[in-house]
Each structure stands twice: as structure tokens, then as C-alpha cells.
């Protein structure tokens, strides 16, 4: 009976063990099936994760598979400050799997690498579709400009910069592009090499405007009398060309300065930024007339204010012409003695009465401020018509001398 009972108990225990074993197997199978549905991160993969926590030293991101990845160290430091400031717990962000499991069992992630990889995909498609991109100039080097395109540094060689922009930036100094930083620019992608991290852009391809069409557009917009800032593009014997918004205008030699200038190169050089006044626009011939001196004080007007018609003054003969002689007066101002005012007698050439270098007393007989001319006379120095004026001038001079002596 005892043996039968034990045998019965033994058979029952065996059934229970078998039942427990089957239950464990089923549970393990369920767990394995559950895990099989999870996609564990793999190296080089880009995932959309959810920010779980943010601290100064790391950002934890949930990437599925019942695990969290970490962005820390160098990868954390590389995140742009603007992006980090906008990060919030619960926010979706793209992440790149650098290591699916490090020595501490963490999934190591990179936000910057994810954005960069996604950026390369976008620019490759943009190159295929020839889409334009509008951004801002972020930097420069001697060879051209740098623009950020979907997080990638794109380079615009100088040869691919528009004519209008290049005309505003002349010369060959390393910092000639500095003033372009922050300017909006439209570009097209002309070369993408992800392996070499090479992204080449072109402003000219995005804006296929010819030099002639630019000039026509600018000429239509210009107004006579207005003042513009331009840049000197070339200098010739007859004047200097200044680029305004992509179109060249001429500053004739006579409009460079109020001072006597033999060649524009004495006061201007290629690359100079200057203010100019529009003095003429010939839309039919596509010509723009500019003036620099129109924006300057005319020193002649100040100098001529010291002279009055009828007064006597000293002058030095500077040059002779068929029609008269020029004399330099005080203040480095020049006046003309017409041939008819050189002598009481009729002469055929000024050299019969004066020669260069002669220092003479002359009378001012005419002042034309509009034409910037002073008329002088040698033969009227002793004219009776000016006796009263000369006496008054002499009396005033003597009075001034007495005053000076008294004060002394």
C-alpha cells in the first residue's frame, strides 16, 4: 500500500514538474516573441528619439528597444547653442547611432551627425532638382563666401559669386568679403561630395543675370541728383568708373575733385568705396554720369570771398595763351588777364607785355562765381575810374595799421 501510494505520488509529482516546465517554456517564448518585435539600434543608423532628460553633462534620449541612448562629451559640445536652448523633455529629435552598446551598456548617440547626414541627403536631392536655396552669408575666406545649407558649410568660390556682388567687393585683401557677412544670398548647389565633405554653391547659377541686363535694370532705377555709395572698378586718364548696384558709371576727370588733378589715380584707386552723385543718366546709350566733387565743399568759393571787384591785388603770371595770361593770386586762386587788359596799346600776343614768373599788381574787374572765374586787368591798375575806390582802400589799410600799432 505504501509503495502504491508512493508510486501514485511519484507519478503526480512528475506531472506537476512537467506542467511547470511547460509553463516556463511558454513564458520564455512569449518574452522572446516580445523582444523579437523590437528593433535594436545598429551602428550608423539614424533614428527619431524622444528626449528623456537634459542635464549640463548629457542628454538622455529614448530610442526604442526599451533602452535610452546618451549624448555626452564632444557630441554634446558640438550641438549649436541655439538648438540646445530649444531642447525640451518629450521633444522628438533625430539621432545617429555611434555605438549600439559601449562598455557601460549605453547606446552612444550624436545629434550633430544625424542632422549632418540628413543634410547631405537633402542637398543631394536639391542638386538633382536644381532648386535654389536662400540663406545668409556666415563667413568667408580669401577664395570666396561660406553659407550654411541645412546645417552644412557650403562654399561659393569667387568665380561663382554674382557680378553685382563682386563689383561691390574689389581688391585682393583677405578681408574684402567681411562686409558681406549677414547678407541674404540665393544660391544653387553645383557639386556634392559627401565622402570628401565638399559642398560647392553658386550664386551666379541661381541668378543668371548678365552684366548688360544688370546695367539696364540699375539704369532704370537710378535718379539724377541722388547720392549712392559705389566702388571704384577701374581708373583711366579721362576719369574713373564706379560701380553702383552692379552697373558702372563714369566720374569724369573734371568731376573727381575741385582741386586740380592731372590723373584720377592721384586721388582714387581700384577698390575704394566712394559716395557719388548722379549728374546724368542716358538710358538710350546706357551711360551714367557721376560726380564726386559735387558732394564736396567748393574751396574756390571760400577763397574768392576775400576778393572784391575793383580792388588791387598781387599776382604771379603762371602761363600764357593766345587770348591772355593767367595769374595766381593769394590763396592759390587763379585769374585771367585777357589780352585786351594787358596793355593800353594793341598787342598780338601776351608775351609782348608779360612773361611767366612776373610778379605784378593787378586789378580785379570781374568775379563769376558760377563759372569759377576771376577777370583781372593790368592796364586798369592806374585807371582814374577806380581812384575813389583806391583811396577808400588805402584809408582803410592805414586805419588798420594805426589800430595795430595802438594795440601793440
**How many Å apart are CA 10 and CA 223, to the nearest integer?**
113
According to DSSP, residue 130 is labeled T
Q: What is the pLDDT along the chain (408 residues), one digit of tens a residue?
A: 344 444 444 455 445 444 454 544 454 444 444 444 456 788 888 889 899 999 999 999 998 766 788 998 898 988 888 888 999 999 999 999 999 888 878 899 999 899 888 989 999 999 888 889 999 999 998 888 999 998 899 999 988 888 778 777 766 677 888 888 999 999 999 899 988 889 999 998 887 665 667 777 788 888 889 999 988 888 888 899 998 887 889 999 999 998 888 899 899 988 888 999 999 988 888 889 999 998 988 877 878 888 888 889 999 999 999 999 999 998 788 999 999 999 989 999 999 999 999 999 999 999 988 788 899 999 888 877 776 665 665 665 555 555 555 555
Question: Which CATH architecture does the domain made up of 130-206 adopt?
Answer: Beta Barrel (2.40)
Residue 248 pLDDT: 85
Residue 7 pLDDT: 43
Asked whether this chain's domains 130-206 and 224-295 adopt the same fold, the reply is yes
- In what helix (H) or strand (E) does residue 408 lie, and over which residues does it extend? none
Nearest in space to 170 (alpha carbons), one of 112, 227, 93, 243: 243
pTM: 0.44
Q: How many angstroms separate the Cα of 15 from the Cα of each of 9, 28, 45, 251? A: 10, 20, 49, 111
Q: Are 79 and 105 in contact (CB under 8 A)?
A: no
DSSP-derived secondary structure for 256-318:
T-SS--SSGGGT--TT-EEEEEEEEEETTTTEEEEESGGGS--HHHHHHTT--TT-EEEEEEE
**How many Å apart are CA 251 and CA 374, to the nearest integer?**
26
- Give the list of residues 6+ apart from residue 268 with CB closer than 8 angstroms, or none: 232, 235, 240, 251, 256, 274
DSSP-derived secondary structure for 209-260:
--HHHHHHHHHHH--TT-EEEEEEEEEETTEEEEEETTEEEEEEGGGT-SS-
What CATH fold (topology level) applies to the domain 299-392? OB fold (Dihydrolipoamide Acetyltransferase, E2P) (2.40.50)
**How many Å apart are CA 54 and CA 47, to the nearest integer?**
18
**Which 3 state secondary structure label does DSSP give 399?**
helix
Q: How many angstroms separate the Cα of 290 from the Cα of each of 244, 296, 300? A: 10, 13, 21
Phi-psi region of 273 (alpha: psi -120 to 50; beta: other; left: phi over 0): beta
Specify the CATH number for 46-116; select among 2.40.50.140, 3.40.47.10, 2.60.40.1080, 1.10.10.10. Answer: 2.40.50.140
- Pairing state of beta strands 247-252 and 273-282? unpaired
Query: How is the chain split into domains, by residue range?
Result: 46-116, 130-206, 224-295, 299-392
Grid coordinates standing for 12?
503526480
Task: Report the chain's C-alpha Rg in angstroms.
Answer: 44
Each residue's pLDDT tens digit, 330-371: 878 899 999 999 998 999 999 999 999 999 999 999 998 878
**How many Å apart are CA 12 and CA 4, to the nearest integer?**
12
**How many Å apart are CA 220 and CA 38, to the nearest integer?**
66
Residue 158 pLDDT: 86
Question: Which CATH architecture does the domain made up of 224-295 adopt?
Answer: Beta Barrel (2.40)
Evaluate the CA torsion angle 178, 182, 185, 189 in order and state its sign: positive
**How many Å apart are CA 284 and CA 280, to the nearest integer?**
12
Alpha-helical (H) ranges within 97-153 are: 111-129
Residue 63 pLDDT: 87
**Which 3 state secondary structure label does DSSP give 81?**
helix
Hey, which bits of 309-403 come out as E strands? 312-321, 324-329, 333-338, 359-368, 373-377
**How many Å apart are CA 315 and CA 310, to the nearest integer?**
15
- Give the list of residues 6+ apart from residue 168 with CB closer than 8 angstroms, or none: 231, 243
Amino acid at each position: 500500500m505504501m509503495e502504491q501510494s508512493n508510486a501514485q505520488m511519484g507519478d503526480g509529482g512528475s506531472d506537476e514538474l512537467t506542467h511547470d516546465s511547460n509553463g516556463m517554456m511558454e513564458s520564455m517564448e512569449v518574452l522572446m516573441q516580445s523582444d523579437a518585435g523590437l528593433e535594436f539600434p545598429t551602428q550608423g543608423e539614424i533614428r527619431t528619439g524622444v528626449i528623456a532628460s537634459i542635464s549640463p553633462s548629457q542628454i538622455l534620449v529614448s530610442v526604442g528597444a526599451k533602452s535610452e541612448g546618451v549624448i555626452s562629451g564632444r557630441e554634446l559640445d558640438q550641438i549649436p547653442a541655439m538648438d540646445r536652448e530649444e531642447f525640451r523633455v518629450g521633444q522628438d529629435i533625430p539621432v545617429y547611432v555611434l555605438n549600439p552598446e559601449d562598455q557601460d551598456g549605453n547606446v552612444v548617440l550624436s545629434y550633430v551627425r544625424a542632422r549632418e547626414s540628413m543634410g547631405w541627403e537633402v542637398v543631394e536631392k536639391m542638386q538633382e532638382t536644381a532648386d535654389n536655396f536662400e540663406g545668409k552669408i556666415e563667413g568667408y575666406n580669401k577664395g570666396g563666401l561660406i553659407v550654411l545649407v541645412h546645417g552644412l558649410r557650403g562654399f561659393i568660390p569667387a568665380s561663382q559669386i554674382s557680378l553685382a556682388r563682386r563689383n561691390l567687393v574689389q581688391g585682393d585683401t583677405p578681408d574684402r568679403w567681411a562686409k558681406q557677412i549677414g547678407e541674404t544670398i540665393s544660391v544653387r548647389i553645383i557639386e556634392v561630395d559627401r565622402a570628401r565633405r565638399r559642398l560647392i554653391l553658386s550664386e551666379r547659377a541661381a541668378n543668371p543675370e548678365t552684366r548688360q541686363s544688370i546695367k539696364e535694370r540699375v539704369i532704370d532705377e537710378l535718379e539724377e541728383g541722388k547720392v549712392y555709395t559705389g566702388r571704384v572698378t577701374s581708373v583711366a586718364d579721362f576719369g574713373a568708373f564706379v560701380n553702383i548696384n552692379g552697373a558702372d558709371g563714369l566720374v569724369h576727370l573734371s568731376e573727381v575733385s575741385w582741386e586740380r588733378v592731372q590723373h584720377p589715380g592721384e586721388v582714387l584707386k581700384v577698390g575704394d568705396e566712394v559716395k557719388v552723385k548722379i549728374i546724368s543718366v542716358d538710358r538710350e546709350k546706357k551711360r551714367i554720369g557721376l560726380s564726386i566733387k559735387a558732394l564736396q565743399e567748393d574751396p574756390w568759393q571760400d577763397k574768392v570771398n576775400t576778393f572784391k571787384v575793383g580792388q588791387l591785388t598781387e599776382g604771379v603770371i603762371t602761363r600764357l595763351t593766345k587770348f591772355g595770361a593767367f595769374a595766381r593770386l593769394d590763396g592759390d586762386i587763379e585769374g585771367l588777364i585777357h589780352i585786351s587788359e594787358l596793355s593800353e596799346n594793341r598787342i598780338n600776343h601776351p608775351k609782348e607785355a608779360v612773361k611767366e614768373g612776373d610778379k605784378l599788381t593787378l586789378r580785379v574787374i570781374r568775379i563769376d562765381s558760377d563759372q569759377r572765374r576771376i577777370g583781372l586787368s593790368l592796364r586798369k591798375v592806374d585807371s582814374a575810374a577806380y581812384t575813389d575806390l583806391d583811396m577808400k582802400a588805402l584809408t582803410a589799410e592805414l586805419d588798420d595799421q594805426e589800430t595795430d600799432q595802438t594795440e601793440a
